[in-house]
Amino acid sequence: MDYKNAGVDIEAGYKSVELMKKHVQETMRPEVLGGIGGFSGGFSLASFGGMEKPTLLSGTDGVGTKLKLAFLMDKHDTVGIDCVAMCVNDVACAGGEPLFFLDYIACGKNYPEKIARIVSGVAEGCKQCGAALIGGETAEMPGFYPEDEYDLAGFAVGIADEKDMITGANLKAGDVLVGLASSGVHSNGFSLVRKVFEQEMTREGLEAYYEELGTTLGEALIAPTKIYVNALKEIKAAGVKVKACSHITGGGFYENVPRMLKDGVRAVIKKDSYPVPPIFKLLAKKGSIAEKMMYNTYNMGIGMIVAVDPAQKDQAMEAARKAGETPYLIGTVEAGEKGVDVC
């Protein structure tokens, strides 16, 4: 009897590491200490000595049941982008620059080529936001996960000078809300998505082309989460003061927008201020989902919201466009009880 007989293939683990090394190497930053394969990842903060009060920011998240689509479609090279995005967008929301990322993959059976494809997506997400992929873990757990399934989670660390952190403290009535377009459903609410499209949750069903989507159902749903780090950097570089910021994830508008507000102010968002992507309209129609529930579950086409002074709204929107994003003026901040009106 040996470990392989128990279902854990150590040699497959070694092969996975070798296959993923090239992807990991592409994410390296000058501050990374040591090479790949150590017991921990080192990162020097010496280059940030110019900050008055350097402050570390962190975020952790997973991909959730969106992974079920990856299994059905046998497409594993984009869910890593989702994993990175869910973490680094949270760090960026606080005004942080993502520095490094670590991933955790747990699987029923280690298929090295599949693991390498997953990590290639993680590396791509890291490259999009400038973070180094300095560590990770692949855990083969037979009997815990089905052989063809896995879970994926991550952890990001960023940095900001304390004075530059986005806290919402200076938010006031009259400020405006700029929304940055999402790429689709992103990585939240997929348990409901899968319930609504229960009959379509097969390889054939996901490969069906939908005229209103302009693509297959599977491609529309698995589109990776947008990473907004560079957009927020461009907005800051343009001299715009971002007063508050919200990453629209699980809980949609009703849960996430209030998190950016201080007491005494209320966000008012106009539903007709931007186009809702077709995937949300299809989801609502097919599932008979009430409009408020849609806005309480999904991003509805807006993945990030920033609050700025009205005098700087044009600068903010131009900077977002420069970063390749599509911005919309979606609402205002008003005096009132802390909360959000979507009207």
The verdict on domain 176-342 having CATH code 3.40.50.11600 is: no
pLDDT attached to residue 1: 64
Q: What is the pLDDT of residue 35?
A: 73
Q: Does domain 10-164 have CATH number 3.40.50.150?
A: no
Which is more confident, 35 or 93? Answer: 93
Q: ∠ CA 162-164-166 to the nearest 5 degrees? A: 100
d(CA 154, CA 122): 9
Q: pLDDT value at position 173?
A: 97
> CB-side exposure of 334: number of CA atoms within 13 Å?
11
Which tens digits make up the pLDDT trace of 308-327? 999 999 999 999 999 999 99
DSSP letter for each residue of 148-193: T-EEEEEEEEEEEEGGG---STT--TT-EEEEEEPSSSTTS-HHHH
Read off the pLDDT band of 6 (50, 70, 90).
Answer: low
pLDDT at 147: 95
DSSP state of 337: S
In the numeric block, the tokens 């006031």 are attached to: 172
How is the chain split into domains, by residue range? 10-164, 176-342
Mean pLDDT over 224-229 rounds to 98
The pLDDT of residue 52 is: 96
**Same fold yes or no, 10-164 and 176-342:** no
Say if residue 134's pLDDT is above 90: yes
Q: What is the pLDDT of residues 64-112, one digit of tens each?
A: 999 999 999 999 999 999 999 999 999 999 999 999 999 999 999 999 9
Give the separation between CA 306 and CA 168, rounded to whole angstroms. 10
CB 51 within 8 A of CB 163: no
CB within 8 Å of 186: residues ≥ 6 apart: 82, 85, 225, 226, 249, 299, 303
Mean pLDDT of 217-228: 98
What's the average model confidence in pLDDT over 117-130? 98
Tens-digit pLDDT profile for residues 237-263:
999 999 999 999 999 999 999 999 999
Cβ–Cβ under 8 Å, residues 61 and 83: yes
Query: 335: Cβ–Cβ under 8 A, 6 or more apart, which residues?
Result: 173, 264, 265, 266
pLDDT of residue 4: 67
Give the C-alpha separation, 288 to 281, whole Å.
Answer: 10
The band of 40, judged by pLDDT with boundaries at 50, 70 and 90, is confident
Tokens of 318: 């131009």
Return the pLDDT at 13: 66
Question: What would the pLDDT profile of 149-162 be if each residue is shown by its tens digit?
Answer: 999 999 999 999 99
Q: Report residue 264's pLDDT band, with 50, 70 and 90 as the boundaries.
A: very high
Cβ contacts of residue 174 below 8 Å, gap of 6+?
310, 332, 333
- d(Cα 193, Cα 221) in Å, to the nearest integer? 9
In whole angstroms, what is the distance from residue 191 CA to residue 287 CA? 12
Q: Is the pLDDT of residue 58 over 90?
A: yes
Q: By percentage, how much of the chain surpasses pLDDT 90? A: 87
pLDDT confidence tier of residue 227, bands split at 50, 70 and 90? very high
pLDDT band of 214, cuts 50, 70, 90: very high
So what's the pLDDT on residue 303? 98
